[in-house]
Amino acid sequence: MKAERLVYNTISWIEKLNAFATSPDVEVVVEGPRDVNSLQDLGVKANFCFAIDLIKDLKEVGERRVYGKTFIILTDFDREGIQLYKKLKSEVTKLGGRVEELPRREYKKFGFPPMIEELSSFVRGRVGCWDQIIAD
């Protein structure tokens, strides 16, 4: 992927993700702290929660945890992450929550790395002036 296209796709994806995620009723679900760090490093501003904590909350609190809220599930695109995504999506929607699919679909469409934690190094390794770009 050419650097110009990568910059355009990444900025477009981050802007859309931030537009969804800045609402107080939206949570971005990731697998771990390295995923959060990678996304924040690129300029994502969101209310993050870890998948394992959400699963625990669903068992303990149930519908009250998710009803009326929107979740953006950004688990990895490996076998384990895909299974986790399917499980979370099913449980959240069954209990009255909503899953916003666009950020996940576009992440895959744009050819970003299968591991969310690798996104920052993937982009920065191909776009040397990333900090200047996001500062503008």
Beta bridge partners of 70: 26, 98
Structural domains of the chain ordered from first start: 3-124 (3.40.1360.10)
Examine the pLDDT at 131 and tell me if it is beyond 90: no
pTM: 0.92
At 27-57, the pLDDT tens digits run 999 999 999 999 999 999 999 999 999 999 9
To 10 degrees, the CA torsion angle through 37, 111, 122, 43? -40
Residue, of 5 and 76, whose pLDDT is higher: 76
Q: Which residue has the tokens 């990568």?
A: 6
- The dihedral through the CA atoms of 43, 1, 109, 83 has a sign that is negative
Q: What is the pLDDT of residue 130?
A: 72
Nearest to 38 by CA among 102, 134, 115: 115
Examine the pLDDT at 13 and tell me if it is beyond 70: yes
At 66-122, the pLDDT tens digits run 999 999 999 999 999 999 999 999 999 999 999 999 999 999 999 999 999 999 999
β-strand 48-50 against 98-99: which pairing, if any?
unpaired
